[in-house]
Amino acid sequence: MADLTTNFIGITSPNPFWLASAPPTDKEYNVRRAFEAGWGGVVWKTLGEAGPPVVNVNGPRYGAIYGADRRLLGLNNIELITDRPLEVNLKEMRRVKRDWPDRALIASLMVPVNEDAWREILQRVEDTGCDGVELNFGCPHGMSERGMGSAVGQVPEYVGQVAYWCKKHSNLPVIVKLTPNITDIRKPAQAAKEGGADAVSLINTINSITSVDLDLFAPEPTIDGQGAHGGYCGPAVKPIALNMVAEIARDPATAGLPISGIGGVTTWRDAAEFMALGAGNVQVCTAAMTYGFKIVQEMISGLSQYMDDKGFTSVDQLVGRAVPNVVNWKDLNLNYVTKAKINQDDCINCGRCYAACEDTSHQAIAMSEDRVFTVKDDECVACNLCVNVCPIEGCITMERMAAGMVDPRTGEVVREEYANWTTHPNNPGRCAAE
């Protein structure tokens, strides 16, 4: 049976599933329940002390985006870091780590860009026996207005400087949590590495307004008739997170930098995708807030079964396996040809594929008088839109044309590769050998 034990920057946990720094990790009661449910680690909700007191709103803190079936796709939150006294949090962390020595316990920290402030809080946190610290450079609301959170994460020089201070004044492993609210995620990751950080975690929440109350004419959640932008998380942000993780994993400047993947992890499959793109473990928040802590049990059993099926005996064998296959667009094989194929036995004749293709794509699907839908190979460009809009999984597939066949759309013979071309036929500026 696959071993899910994870060693992430020297921090051992029985599985790669950690709870992210967020409301579920705000106090001892929650964290104990999480460990009892099976979570491998916890990043304690962000601690801070320097600066004005933290006071959270007493009205709604969350807004939401739903799918057609009211499945929660994304949460927007306007909650700040912990408003509980630092000393209370530290005492609770010390007790939890004493009782659960085999679980990872990470302290998330946020103070101003001041070396003395970081040195002081690090010294107090080390006494808890925690396994490491995560520097919160990602929070996009509230704290960023005080020059912390994403206000730091958006300036690579600050990221590197604070990482350096933390390595200078502490022996604990340092994880830098990155903000996605930036043009190029690679820059702060590079700065974190140059500053001596042991790892990065990403993504933190995305700046957002999820909805507007059209009676009050104010963003939601609404506090006394007004609203503010918040941080967006949940399944909807997963594609953005996966891309940013992959960008760091395949960048030569950050190659080998350990990554903790965050952003919409809801199932074991989500976790496996993050890990295949280079994440050594994953952090979860919205899924736990939606379904409760016991969702980790499904994640554990699912990942274990998948690894057994693949013949993997350790998590390390999964980490990064997809990274070599993430390339720039110019490196894609433009001689790879597929065509859509509709399985008539599965088709329910709803016509979604026809409407989508006829109105917005390439008019490559025909509809007979008795509503039988077929693909016109000479018009199909294999855009995959019909596959995506079809309500029956597997009903429409993309079938590859074998080498030697004639593409009915272009009249050209499908070749295995462009070995004999001097230049790429679909892009004259690109050499085929690139």
* Residue 193: per-residue pLDDT: 98
Which tens digit of pLDDT belongs to each residue from 143-175?
887 778 888 999 999 999 999 999 999 999 999
Name which of 79, 170, 142, 154 is nearest 113 in CA terms: 154
Q: What is the mean pLDDT of the chain?
A: 92
Tens digits of per-residue pLDDT, 189-233?
999 999 999 999 999 999 999 999 999 999 999 999 988 988 999
Pair 294, 398 in one domain:
no
Mean pLDDT of the region 287-315 = 97
Whole domain around residue 320: which residue ranges?
6-325
270 shares a domain with 406: no
For the record, the structure tokens of 408 come out as: 């009915």
**Does position 434 have pLDDT exceeding 70, yes or no?**
no
Q: Which residue has the higher pLDDT, 269 or 226?
A: 269
Among 61, 166, 52, CA closest to 115 = 166
Q: Do 200 and 338 fall within a single domain?
A: no
Residues 156 and 304 in one domain: yes
pLDDT value, residue 430: 42
pLDDT at 412: 82
Residue 146 is predicted with a pLDDT of 79
Q: What CATH number does the domain containing 335 carry? A: 3.30.70.20
Residue percentage of the chain with pLDDT more than 90: 80
Question: Is residue 103 pLDDT above 90, yes or no?
Answer: yes
SS3 sequence of 39-98? CCEEEEEEECCCCCCCCCCCCCCEEEEECCCCCEEEEEECCCCCCCCHHHHHHHHHHHHH
Q: How many structural domains comprise the chain?
A: 2
Same structural domain, 158 and 291: yes
Specify if 380 maps to a domain: yes
> Quick check: 419 pLDDT over 50?
no
- Say yes or no: 133 and 177 in one domain: yes
CA distance 7 to 315: 9
Is residue 232 a contact partner of residue 210, using CB atoms and an 8 Å limit? yes
195 and 313 assigned to the same domain? yes
* Structure confidence by residue, pLDDT tens digits, 375-401: 999 999 999 999 999 999 999 999 998
* Whether residue 166 is found in the same domain as residue 150: yes
Q: Domain holding 101: CATH number?
A: 3.20.20.70
pLDDT of 416 reads 65
Residue 418 and residue 281 in one domain: no
Q: What is the pLDDT of residue 368?
A: 96
1 falls within a domain: no
CA 180 – CA 242 distance, rounded (Å):
11
Where among 281, 307, 325 does a domain terminate? 325
Tokens describing residue 269: 């499959």
- What are the residue numbers of the active site? 139
Q: Given this model, what pLDDT does residue 417 score?
A: 53
Q: Of 295, 325, 355, which residue sits at a domain end?
A: 325
Considering the domain architecture, whether residues 147 and 35 belong to the same structural domain is answered as yes
**Are both 294 and 381 inside the same structural domain?**
no
Euclidean distance between CA atoms 157 and 159, whole angstroms? 5
What pLDDT does 378 receive?
93
pLDDT reported for residue 334: 87
